[in-house]
Amino acid sequence: MSDVIAVTDTTFDKEVLDSDKPVLVDIWATWCAPCRRTEPIIEELATEHGDRIKFVKLDADANPETLAKYGVVSIPTFNLYVGGEVVKTLVGAQTKKTFLAELAAHL
């Protein structure tokens, strides 16, 4: 998980909102099967495209403030932030092809 950074309610603003490049936030939980299925895809994308997009993970159970702030009600949820604003949201497990299509403008 070296290319994917874990963030918390405390570090979210610094790591995500203040980032100088787009950030894909993977909102997940340990008990979530679709989250576990998606994890290797996110890791692969981070390895391949981490120079252009920052990839971070936010544990839904441990960080309720950020979930409430952004209205996250289902996991996995993937929010793409550009300039501190959510520009795209994907809910549910996604394929690598879908991620690449949705992130294409930033790759």
Catalytically active residues are 32, 35
In 3D space, the residue among 81, 84, 30 whose CA is nearest the CA of residue 55 turns out to be: 81
CB 60 within 8 A of CB 75: yes
In sequence order, the 6+-apart residues with CB closer than 8 A to the CB of 68 are: none
Integer Cα distance of 34 and 31 in angstroms: 9
